A and B are shown apart, each in its own frame.
Chain A
Amino acid sequence: MADVLEIRGLRIEATAYPPGEAPRHLTLVEDVSVTVGKGRVLGLIGESGAGKSTIGLSAMAYGRGGVRLTGGQILLNGRDIRGAGAADLRSLRGREVTYVAQSAAAAFNPAKRLMEQVIETSLVHKVMTKAEAEARAVALFAKLGLPDPESFGRRYPHQVSGGQLQRAMTAMALCPRPDLVVFDEPTTALDVTTQIEVLAAIKEAIRDTGVAALYITHDLAVVAQVADDILVLRGGRKVEYGSTEQIISAPVEAYTKALVSVRSIAHVEKVFSDAVLAVQGVTARYRGTNLDVLAEVTLDVAAGQTLAVVGESGSGKSTLARVITGLLPSGQGRISFAGRVLAPDLAARSKDDLRELQMIYQMADTAMNPRQTVATIIGRPLEFYFGLTGEARRIRVQELLDQIEMGAGFVNRYPAELSGGQKQRVCIARALAAKPRLIICDEVTSALDPLVADGILKLLLELQAREGVAYLFITHDLATVKAIADKIAVMYRGRVLRYGSKTDVLTPPFDDYTDLLLSSVPEMRLGWLEGVLAGRRMASAGN
């Protein structure tokens, strides 16, 4: 059987034009070879910058923004499309190979109805008549579980939800009966409970249409559910290439092993001690609205321990952080910290209150002033809270840098000269500089690649053991929660649904939402997706 796609010795290059500097030449991908047979799914996995999207788009002979395919062969249905002419490329794009983008919200034209866009490819390539295309689109909408498939296509992109749009984009890719579909992180932007539905819909659609697929993602657990084979990439080169089963259960390379075992930090919960922070019946709303974004939230954080607050977007978990820090004064309720009652408004709090309650942000990029050096960023709290200057301050900055496992060479660097993980470490050092009792960590690992995130979590646990600092850890990622939490609060629509020690919260019986949330987190084993779906079907049949 002929392969739908065969890539041999692919090399991809680009030229970067940083503002105010000389152009720089970059090799993005080097010596990558893969094959995808009919009806097979190949997963491309790697961290940001691994070149996985670039390879995915090369299957359509497309280079984004000045990217050039400079070497090797890309055989689509047996003929080399690298360097094919514009007219040839047009005739194969959309007919033989189609594309599903990460952000369907941006990839749909806002000025046109969904149906018009979904069937456009079929009509342009004269694959079928308009009536046939519309009938097929409706059938695909139904198969992908979209509501009201008959009339769904009459809506505009902004009139449907993110998860629905992602499924509509899958329908758009499948409509012209292509031989190959490139899925570029199709579920990354979605909440975990939506992700599982879209993932299942995509998997079923791939199976039923018998199409070949490239599935690009940074999440090994996700790709393990849909792919037959997996190519692990790093820095544009192949690390390991094999069947999904082999990669998951018997990885050969050290890097793959690290990816497979990521988030396997064993953390035994501590026995609850005295509370350093107590939130009692807090209710809050934004000015000018009458909707409670937080409703009667009550929870404690024990000294030297970690409370993980988990929830999806819109659950109010980040608002909780703003209320505790005083950025959004609470309407009702009481917050006590280290035995004192905290003023609701930031401006009314004492310097010690501010010092002992520190915060670390999700985006380390925007959390540091780009015009300040690491020495200033970490040194300012030392000067501000403890009056340290000159040599004393310099020594303390160096101690803090040692604690976050960064050397003296970083003192005079600017944030732009640090990697993502290093930036987050500097933010941790800045928080530590204040000698806090509690640090609020707002999604601190979700913008990072898995291995880097793992390093940050380990560092946080070590610092907790050494300094006795407590964490209020806000996240949407249950794997992180399991790794770090002593207690857990599950939030949903501004309320705490479930609250207790880690073991209690993660042990059945569950309420419906917690059950849905916990069961939606992809696990790194084959057949997990089918298992969960079968379980859910049985449960709904039982009801």
Chain B
Amino acid sequence: MKLPFSALLGLCLTAAFVLVAVFAQVIAPYPIDAAVGGVWEGPSARFWLGTDTIGRDILSRLIYGAQVTLFVALVSSLLSFAMGAFFGFLAVVRGGWIDMVLSRLVDLMMAVPSLIVALVVLSVLPLNLTVLILVMGVLDSTRVFRLSRAVAADIAVMDYVEAARLRGERQSWIIFREILPNALSPLVAEFGLRFIFAVLFISTLSFLGLGIQPPLSDWGGMVRENKDGLIYGKAAALMPALAIAALAISVNLVADWVLSRTTSLKGGRGA
């Protein structure tokens, strides 16, 4: 099996981001929230990317920001995935009124853009990590629900699933042995997309001042803190934005590759 260059690049970059996030405390040269230099110092041997609007090391903050951003995005996309896939499969296998109620509920949630719903909900709820992760996870689970329901519904009408039912197999065999193995590769690619979406969503909320609250800081929040720097022409202020873009693009490249390897549902061994 040959890995195309774009996928290799995506995999390497994604792995690098994950390593940085996991070992942030070890790698970062300075503490997250200490003014260690002057205001808006340029890049130097001491501060590789310069300092920010109150003299904190931008590189260190970026490294800690990676930890917060990736953690929140990962947990909320895992949540959305678990919920969406579970209810999506449930809707197909049980059918009837369960399917009806779940599908209408999802229609209702998706009738309004997620950002608007999130803003309305966050105007009432307290702003903390748990609330953010829950809100993002629940809102995004609607998309996973639609996809897994569609994929599972395509598979559920296949003759081999009917053959298993005629054999008298239990529901658990049908879900885990007949449907799930065939639904896996589209769902894996979807997980990549959900993760990106979570990164963008939390960054946007933080940028609007409604996401991660100080002293913690993620990349979106850093863009907000440093937006004045840009007007003074400090390129370093762009770094957090660049980090978001790089992460999103690398995960996208991997997801694209997984998706392109997904053979049709009917035949082939696929990934």
The answer to whether A and B come from one shared complex is yes
Between B158, B177, B271, the greatest number of chain A beta carbons within 10 A of the residue's beta carbon is seen for B158
Chain B, residue nearest A414 (CB): B269
Between A363, A371, A415, the greatest number of chain B beta carbons within 10 A of the residue's beta carbon is seen for A371
B168 with A384: CB separation less than 8 A: yes
B182 with A354: CB separation less than 8 A: no
Residues of A within 8 A of B265 (CB): 370
Map CB proximity to A onto B153-194 as digits: 1 under 8 Å, 0 otherwise: 000001110110111110000000110011000000000000
Q: Answer yes or no: A466 CB below 8 A from chain B CBs.
A: no
Could you give 22 example pairs across A and B, Cβ below 8 Å? A19-B262, A20-B260, A20-B263, A325-B166, A327-B165, A346-B166, A354-B167, A359-B163, A365-B267, A366-B159, A366-B266, A367-B159, A369-B178, A370-B266, A370-B268, A371-B182, A380-B167, A384-B168, A384-B169, A415-B267, A416-B268, A416-B269
Chain A, residue nearest B265 (CB): A370
- Given pairs A367-B159, A368-B160, A416-B269, 19 additional interface contacts (CB within 8 A): A19-B262, A19-B268, A20-B261, A22-B2, A326-B166, A327-B165, A355-B168, A359-B166, A361-B159, A367-B160, A369-B177, A369-B182, A370-B266, A371-B269, A380-B167, A384-B167, A415-B267, A416-B268, A434-B167
Q: Which residues of B contact A (CB under 8 A)?
A: 1-2, 158-160, 162-163, 165-169, 177-178, 181-182, 260-263, 265-271
Give the contacting residue for A416; candidates B2, B168, B262, B267; CB below 8 A.
B267
Residues of B within 8 A of A363 (CB): 159
Q: Answer yes or no: A329 CB below 8 A from chain B CBs.
A: no
Residues of A within 8 A of B267 (CB): 365, 370, 415-416
Residues of A within 8 A of B163 (CB): 359, 361, 367, 430
Between B169, B181, B261, B267, the greatest number of chain A beta carbons within 10 A of the residue's beta carbon is seen for B267
Q: Answer yes or no: A37 CB below 8 A from chain B CBs.
A: no
Residues of A within 8 A of B166 (CB): 325-327, 346, 354, 358-359
A371 with B181: CB separation less than 8 A: yes
Map CB proximity to B onto A347-390 as digits: 1 under 8 Å, 0 otherwise: 00101001100110101011111110000000011001100000
Between A349, A355, A415, the greatest number of chain B beta carbons within 10 A of the residue's beta carbon is seen for A415
Between B165, B266, B268, B271, the greatest number of chain A beta carbons within 10 A of the residue's beta carbon is seen for B268
CA distance A390 to B159 in the complex (A): 27
Q: Which residues of A contact B (CB under 8 A)?
A: 19-20, 22, 325-327, 346, 349, 351, 354-355, 358-359, 361, 363, 365-371, 380-381, 384-385, 414-416, 430, 434
Taking the nearest CB of chain A, how far is it from the CB of B8, in angstroms? 14
Taking the nearest CB of chain A, how far is it from the CB of B146, in angstroms? 23
Residues of B within 8 A of A325 (CB): 166
A354 with B168: in contact, given A20-B1, A368-B160 (CB under 8 Å)? yes
Residues of A within 8 A of B167 (CB): 354, 380-381, 384-385, 434
Taking the nearest CB of chain A, how far is it from the CB of B174, in angstroms? 11
Q: How many Cβ-Cβ contacts under 8 Å join chain A to chain B? A: 68
Q: Which 8 A-B pairs have the closest CB atoms?
A: A371-B181, A367-B159, A354-B168, A20-B261, A416-B267, A369-B160, A361-B159, A366-B159
Residues of A within 8 A of B168 (CB): 349, 351, 354-355, 384
Taking the nearest CB of chain B, how far is it from the CB of A505, in angstroms? 29
CA distance A326 to B168 in the complex (A): 11
CA distance A524 to B44 in the complex (A): 90
Chain A, residue nearest B4 (CB): A20
CA distance A384 to B160 in the complex (A): 16
A365 with B266: CB separation less than 8 A: yes
Residues of A within 8 A of B262 (CB): 19
CA distance A371 to B177 in the complex (A): 9
CA distance A380 to B160 in the complex (A): 12
Residues of B within 8 A of A384 (CB): 167-169
Between A361, A365, A366, the greatest number of chain B beta carbons within 10 A of the residue's beta carbon is seen for A366
Residues of B within 8 A of A22 (CB): 2
Taking the nearest CB of chain B, how far is it from the CB of A172, in angstroms? 32
Give the contacting residue for B260; candidates A19, A326, A354; CB below 8 A.
A19
CA distance A415 to B181 in the complex (A): 15
CA distance A368 to B163 in the complex (A): 9
Between A20, A354, A368, A430, the greatest number of chain B beta carbons within 10 A of the residue's beta carbon is seen for A20
Give the contacting residue for A370; candidates B165, B260, B269, B271; CB below 8 A.
B269
A370 with B2: in contact, given A19-B261, A351-B168, A354-B166 (CB under 8 Å)? no
Taking the nearest CB of chain B, how far is it from the CB of A334, in angstroms? 20
B159 with A370: CB separation less than 8 A: no
Residues of B within 8 A of A367 (CB): 159-160, 163
Chain B, residue nearest A19 (CB): B263
CA distance A346 to B2 in the complex (A): 47
Residues of B within 8 A of A20 (CB): 1, 260-261, 263, 271
Residues of A within 8 A of B177 (CB): 369
Residues of A within 8 A of B268 (CB): 19, 370, 416
Chain A, residue nearest B267 (CB): A416
CA distance A354 to B267 in the complex (A): 27
Residues of A within 8 A of B271 (CB): 20
Residues of A within 8 A of B270 (CB): 370
Chain B, residue nearest A350 (CB): B168
CA distance A6 to B136 in the complex (A): 68
CA distance A380 to B178 in the complex (A): 12
CA distance A415 to B163 in the complex (A): 15
Taking the nearest CB of chain B, how far is it from the CB of A356, in angstroms? 12
CA distance A428 to B268 in the complex (A): 21
Residues of A within 8 A of B159 (CB): 361, 363, 366-367
CA distance A508 to B271 in the complex (A): 58
Taking the nearest CB of chain A, how far is it from the CB of B161, in angstroms? 8
Taking the nearest CB of chain A, how far is it from the CB of B248, in angstroms? 24
CA distance A19 to B267 in the complex (A): 12
Between A327, A370, A430, the greatest number of chain B beta carbons within 10 A of the residue's beta carbon is seen for A370
Residues of B within 8 A of A385 (CB): 167
Chain B, residue nearest A377 (CB): B160
CA distance A368 to B155 in the complex (A): 12
CA distance A361 to B158 in the complex (A): 11
Taking the nearest CB of chain A, how far is it from the CB of B137, in angstroms? 29
Residues of B within 8 A of A358 (CB): 166
A346 with B165: CB separation less than 8 A: yes
Residues of B within 8 A of A368 (CB): 160
Taking the nearest CB of chain B, how far is it from the CB of A471, in angstroms? 16
Chain A, residue nearest B155 (CB): A369
Between B159, B166, B169, B182, the greatest number of chain A beta carbons within 10 A of the residue's beta carbon is seen for B159
Residues of B within 8 A of A371 (CB): 181-182, 269
CA distance A327 to B162 in the complex (A): 9
B158 with A366: CB separation less than 8 A: yes
Taking the nearest CB of chain A, how far is it from the CB of B107, in angstroms? 21
Residues of A within 8 A of B178 (CB): 369
CA distance A294 to B153 in the complex (A): 27
Chain B, residue nearest A361 (CB): B159
Taking the nearest CB of chain A, how far is it from the CB of B207, in angstroms? 38
Taking the nearest CB of chain A, how far is it from the CB of B183, in angstroms? 10
Taking the nearest CB of chain B, how far is it from the CB of A313, in angstroms? 18
Taking the nearest CB of chain A, how far is it from the CB of B158, in angstroms? 5
Taking the nearest CB of chain A, how far is it from the CB of B266, in angstroms? 6
CA distance A301 to B181 in the complex (A): 38
A369 with B261: CB separation less than 8 A: no
Taking the nearest CB of chain B, how far is it from the CB of A16, in angstroms? 13
Give the contacting residue for B160; candidates A326, A351, A366, A434; CB below 8 A.
A366
Residues of A within 8 A of B162 (CB): 327
